[in-house]
Amino acid sequence: MALSGMRGLSVFISDIRNCQNKEQERLRVDKELGNVRTRFKNEKGLTPYEKKKYVWKMLYIYMLGYDVDFGHMEAVSLISAPKYPEKQVGYIVTSCLLNENHDFLRLAINTVRNDIIGRNETFQCLALTMVGNIGGREFAESLAPDVQKLLISSSYRPLVRKKAALCLLRLYRKNPDVVNIDGWADRMAQLLDERDLGVLTSSMSLLVALVSNHHDAYWSCLPKCVKILERLARNQDIPQEYTYYGIPSPWLQVKTMRVLQYFPTVEDPNTRRSLFEVLQRILMGTDVVKNVNKNNASHAVLFEALALVMHLDAEKEMMSQCVALLGKFIAVREPNIRYLGLENMTRMLMVTDVQDIIKRHQAQIITSLKDPDVSIRRRALDLLYGMCDVSNAKDIVEELLQYLSTADFAMREELSLKAAILAEKFAPDLSWYVDVILQLIDKAGDFVSDDIWFRVVQFVTNNEDLQPYAAAKAREYLDKPAIHETMVKVSAYIIGEFGHLLARRPGCSPKELFAVIHEKLPTVSTSTIPILLSTYAKIFMHTQPPDQELQNQIWAIFNKYESCIDVEIQQRAAEYLALSRRGEALVDILAEMPKFPERQSALIKKAEDTEVDTAEQSAIKLRAQQQTSNALVVTDQRPANGTPPANHQLGLVKIPNMSSNADHNSTDQGLSQENGTLNKVDPQTPSPDLLGDLLGPLAIEGPPGTAVQSHQTEIPGSGGDPNAVDATAIVPVGEEPNSVQPIGNIAERFHALCLKDSGVLYEDPNIQIGIKAEWRLHQGCLVLFLGNKNTSPLVSVQAVIMPPSHFKMELSLVPETIPPRAQVQCPLEVVNLRPSRDVAVLDFSYKFGHNMVNVKLRLPAVLNKFLQPIPVSAEEFFPQWRSLTGPPLKLQEVVRGVKPLPLAEMANLINSFRLMVCPGLDPNPNNLVASTTFYSESTRAMLCLARIETDPADRTQLRMTVASGDPTLTFELKEFIKEQIVNIPVAPRAPGPVPPAPPVAQPTSPAAALTDPGALLAGLL
Amino acid sequence: MIHFVILVSRQGKVRLTKWFSTYSQKERSKVCELDLIFNFHKAYYILDELLLAGELQESSKRAIGRMIAIHDRFVEAAKEEASSISNLLAQVNM
């Protein structure tokens, strides 16, 4: 069929298609371009039809891959044509030929805007489509309000509004400021009530983008999303045309579930229940069928549902249902489905508690490791790697080893690295670990990176029990006829260090050891020879009494290599020769290597670095970051045999420098450095528990270089006056303009921590500061947990405590750098000198990238932490209460604007301040009496009593009486309680409706009035 | 439903194939690549109805069909107008 009436264009396309070769095509195109150019030059003579035709030709030429650098103006000018066909061509060609920064677009903005706000809906559609396709910053600024109006106005038809939604999405992506969150969130929620599924799908795409930036503004959309999902899952009111192979709009389902994953949780129990019902329905209703398209659609929905289930931390039952479903998937014939099943199982691993259920499918997963499809094999490897733990490590690692000999080369390196890591992480015993690594080297030596064998050397060196075993194993491998060079290196090293431990075994005399190693010398490369030379020197040193024949042999070798062209070999040969003639000194210098300092496995580091993010889901990513590695840590025992690490001054001579020629430049390979230059090890490593870890036994690399001393500066006048009555004692914090936004509300976190002893004090995308506190009498110990959430280190970390005058505080060293994903503990000692409500402030700063982040955080070392609740009986209470007469020891105040709480909850609140509510003491059931002991250095233990008289008719006010033996304490405690129970900010209340003395607070029985001096006093007032 | 693939041929040419095969079966007897090449402007138009800003705009075949029908009507109407006598005269005069 010819192009609707445009013969010239059809002819041109036919001509191009008939070209025999590229050259002909180019000639034809050039001819046409010249033609178009001359016609455009003489624009006056062009009818709209001709103009349209030439612009189409330009677009066709552009599609063929030729540069079209003219005629843009003609294309843009067609936009302003009054008739639909020309306008349409103008819009389409403009959106194809011009990009968002093209100057000509500016010329069209006015026309585009007129079309958008005009009443012709076909023109509106054309304009919105072009803006949605090009949508630059300038468009965003000038058109966004109009587009928003179209979207929310119900007077426009769906065909306009769905385009408006996506157009706005495009503009929002270019410039997020075009959407004003405050007003827009409600509008967005209204949009979700839309019945038309086209508009709903487009709006949902917009919502995904909005929510991914500011989920907290869009809470009102959450229940509506669940409603939409319900509607779709139940297939209620879904037009036939929106079902795809019987599935109600899978696109909308996926997008809606994606939106839900951006909310941290679904709190409302009803919404949550409905959502889980929907998810349950999706899980139950999905199966593998014959039709590929149906599978694609239903699986897309299913996998999004799985992601949501994981995000919501569903009950275990649902999780196991998910795993069971995936188990079905990984066993089907269709490779795509197997792949997806394995991939999603790997994602499931991030969720706690499902590991055991996944383990049931271990056999099937291992089968997948032999799948003909390499991408499935990779997924299976990832999954096995992820699901491995102490219980199945032996099975899985042995499977991997077995598979290693048949695996294709592309996978071997990854495979061996993973096997090595698993062996290290989950070794049930260390000899097994050594076995695995040696097998690994034996089977796939070419793919075993140096890191792997360095690590095994570290282990053997640091674990004395392992040394004879490792030496015997190494000896066994040396007997094999052809072994990999890496095996030669590791065996030679181990035999050199620990060969003497085998002395009494057959075939292990120094001479025999030397012979078996020396046999390999002709086969190895220059990088291995230095290791062999060191081994010879060590064997020679261990030969007691000296063996003349062996000595001659070894000296002959040294002599020979003394003139070697390789400088490393030459130096070693020369030095060993000179040393071995010195007799006694040799024994000292060549003594066993000291133990290696504790540090994170370089292998795991390497694996972490190469990890690629496949999952887009934010929640899953977050969880992955929180996962801890259980890597074995090279134990840092002090050498028992009296060779202190201080030996390191002996430098190079002592160390068989096996890699100085290659690895010294690489700073990231921590291991090679350790092996090469031990003198970097600082014997003054701070004790490891200082760097302990809340999350798990993750070793932290290296000691911090320098640390910031806590500044003990007393700040005079910073609220030091205990009689400062006003509420400004609360230090304003966190108001500095930081580019890094904190996660969660700092003030809320602080208030929560005032009432409990552990929790998060501060969090932002880079760091989390947790607190764990212990209080004993007037002393306390707060531990700050500084956790780096990133994969790169946080530097210039500084923590300075600004204590108020009533505290003596001492912060231990804070390291300047927090390594990636590590957590650092900094204990802070607190001594309470006097009662005061002033709080200490932590001035914390760090540098991430080029950003300096600084926050000032109040520390939850508040008055009530030094309280110790004690129960008192009526006999104890009343004499005390009476003996404390009036101000300043007993203070009373009517408090208004109290958080309205039922009496029982008020009692709980008071209890949570560590004041013990003693029921039954006060004859009036609306009153609470509480007692506690306060500890400080000046007051020692001081009994405090409090009475709170509530008004059942008006819960927002109460009268409070506080008494203690210390006037400051009484005042401070009263103010503290007041602060805690008052709603902040206090709403300014008109004095009119509140009577000056609440009548209900009056003691009802005269007897009580007599026993209560406070009440008497109140009566007098 | 929608069957289309965006292909890049060996010459680096971008083209749409197999669009709307079911829809086309109703409307025409058969759609082949050639139709697409000669009607590439239509392909653009249909794609704009289907996707916008990189997101799915409409998944209903009927809704898109309606849009295309409207579009065709407008073009037809304009064509008739263009072939009217006054336009012919105008062209002759040039």
Looking at residues A132-146, what average pLDDT do you find?
88
Q: What is the pLDDT of residue B82?
A: 63
What letter represents residue A589's amino acid?
A: I
A817 in the same domain as A896: no
- The answer to whether A47 faces chain B, any CB pair under 8 Å, is yes
Per residue in A734-756, pLDDT (tens digit) is: 444 446 778 888 888 888 888 88
Residue A610 pLDDT level (bands cut at 50, 70, 90):
low
Q: What is the pLDDT of residues B41-54, one digit of tens each?
A: 777 888 888 888 88
Residue list, annotated binding site of A: 7-8, 49, 53-57
| pLDDT mean over A614-624 | 40
pLDDT value of position A29:
92
For residue A278, give how far its alpha carbon lies from the nearest alpha carbon of chain B (Å). Answer: 22
Whether residue A257 is contained in a domain is answered as: yes
End-to-end C-alpha distance for chain A, whole angstroms: 102
Give the predicted TM-score (pTM) of the model.
Answer: 0.56
Is A768 contained in some domain? yes
Six-digit token string for A922: 């006060």
Lowest mean pLDDT among A341-350, A480-489, A679-688, A795-804: A679-688
Determine contact: A4 vs chain B, CB below 8 A: yes
Burial class for A408, CB neighbours closer than 10 Å (0-12, 13-18, 19+)? exposed
Task: Report the complex ipTM.
Answer: 0.77
Residues A809 and A918 in one domain: no
* Residue (of A804, A788, A784) closest to A796 by Cα position: A788
Q: Is residue A342, in this structure, part of any structural domain at all?
A: no
Distances A5 to A32, A329, A953, B94 between C-alpha atoms, Å: 19, 53, 85, 21
Task: Identify which of B52, B71, B74 has the shortest CB distance to residue A163.
Answer: B52
Can you count the helices (H) and strands (E) in chain A?
Answer: 41, 18
The answer on A969 and A875 residing in a single domain is yes
Q: What is the CATH number of the domain that holds A933?
A: 3.30.310.10
Of residues B34 and A729, which shows the higher confidence score? Answer: B34
Cα A220-A224-A227 angle, rounded to 5 deg: 155
Asked if the model's pLDDT at residue A614 lies above 50, the reply is no
Structural domain for B32, as ranges? 4-93
| A616 vs A806 pLDDT, higher one | A806
A561 within 8 A of A569, measured Cβ to Cβ: yes
Which of A981, A997, A1014 terminates a domain? The answer is A981
| CB contact burial A172-193 (16+ within 10 A = b; e otherwise) | bebbeebbeeeebbeebbebbe
Is A908 inside any structural domain?
yes
The CA distance from A9 to the nearest CA of chain B, in Å, is 8
Scan residues 70-89 of B and list those with Cβ closer than 8 Å to A: 70-71, 74-75, 77-79, 82
Same domain, A478 and A586: yes
Q: Is the pLDDT of residue A354 over 50?
A: yes
Q: Which residue has the higher pLDDT, A761 or A636?
A: A761
pLDDT tens-digit readout, A597-609? 766 666 666 666 5
- Alpha carbon distance A842, A733 (integer Å): 10
Cβ-defined contact of B52 to A92 (cutoff 8 Å): no
Residue in B22, B40, B58 to test binding to A, most A beta-carbons within 10 Å: B58
Q: What angle do CA A515, A519, A524 make, to 5 degrees?
A: 140
pLDDT higher at A702 or A90: A90
| Together in a domain, A780 and A835 | yes
Q: Which residues contact A815 (CB under 8 A, 6 or more apart)?
A: A691, A704, A707, A797, A824
Q: Does B38 touch chain A (CB under 8 A)?
A: yes
**Is the pLDDT reported for residue A351 higher than 80?**
no
In a domain, A289, yes or no: no
A126 neighbors A91 (Cβ within 8 angstroms) = yes
pLDDT bucket at A953, cuts 50 / 70 / 90: confident
Tokens 């309000």: give the residue: A145
Lowest mean pLDDT among A426-430, A666-670, B60-64: A666-670
| DSSP state for residue A581 in the 8-state scheme | T
Interface test with B, best of A83, A126, A157 (most B CBs within 10 A): A83
Looking at residue A655, its pLDDT comes to 35
Residue A909: other Cβ atoms inside 10 A:
18
| Buried/exposed code over A821-835 (b: 16+ C-beta within 10 A; e: otherwise) | bbbbbbbbebbbebb
Does residue A197 sit in the same domain as residue A270?
yes
Per 3-state DSSP, what percentage of chain B is helix, strand, and coil (rounded to 5)? 60, 15, 30
**CA geometry: angle A327, A333, A339, nearest 5 deg:** 60
B53 contact residues in A (CB cutoff 8 A)? 132-133, 135, 166-167, 169-170, 173, 205
Residues in chain B within 8 Å Cβ distance of A170? 52-53
CB contact under 8 A, A197 and B1: no
Contacts of A242 in chain B (CB under 8 A): 59-60
Asked if A99 reaches chain B (Cβ–Cβ under 8 Å), the answer is: no
A827 shares a domain with A884: no
Cβ neighbours of B41 in A, within 8 Å = 3, 56, 59, 89, 92
Domain limit, last residue, from A261, A282, A303: A282
Look at A703 and A596; give whichever has higher pLDDT.
A596
Identify the residue with better confidence: B87 or A590.
A590
Please tell me which of the candidates A166, A249, A252 has its beta carbon nearest to residue B57: A166
Does a structural domain hold residue A357? no
Residue A959, domain extent: 864-981
Both A844 and A869 in a single domain? no
Chain centre distance of CA A988: 43
What percentage of chain A carries pLDDT values higher than 70?
A: 81
Residues A817 and A876 reside in one and the same domain: no
Chain A residues touching B52 at Cβ < 8 A: 128-129, 132-133, 163, 166-167, 170, 202
Does A235 lie in the same domain as A207?
yes
Cβ-Cβ contacts under 8 Å for A654 (sequence gap 6 or more): A589, A590, A591, A593, A647, A648, A678
Higher-confidence position of A730 and A786: A786
- Among candidates A39, A40, A53, which has minimal Cα distance to A5? A53
**Mean pLDDT across the stretch A880-904?**
82
In terms of domains, do A472 and A586 share one?
yes
Calpha distance A755→A757 (Å, rounded): 7
Among A861, A886, A921, the domain-final residue is: A861
Q: How many domains does chain A have?
A: 4
Q: Is B92 near chain A, with CB under 8 Å?
A: no
Residue B30 at interface with chain A, using a CB cutoff of 8 Å: no
Distance CA A991, CA A880 (A): 35
Nearest CB among B15, B44, B78 relative to A92 is that of B44
Listed range (A711-720, A758-767, A849-858) with the worst mean pLDDT:
A711-720
- How far apart are alpha carbons A31 and A40 in whole angstroms? 14
A474 and A567 in one domain? yes
Q: What average pLDDT does the segment A864-879 reach?
A: 83
For residue B23, how far is the Cα from the chain centroid?
12
pLDDT score of B91: 53
**Cα–Cα dist A1012/A959, whole Å:** 14
Q: A170 and B48 in contact by Cβ < 8 A?
A: no
Report if residue A955 sits inside a domain: yes
| Inter-chain CB pairs, A–B, below 8 Å | 115
Q: Count how many domains chain B has.
A: 1
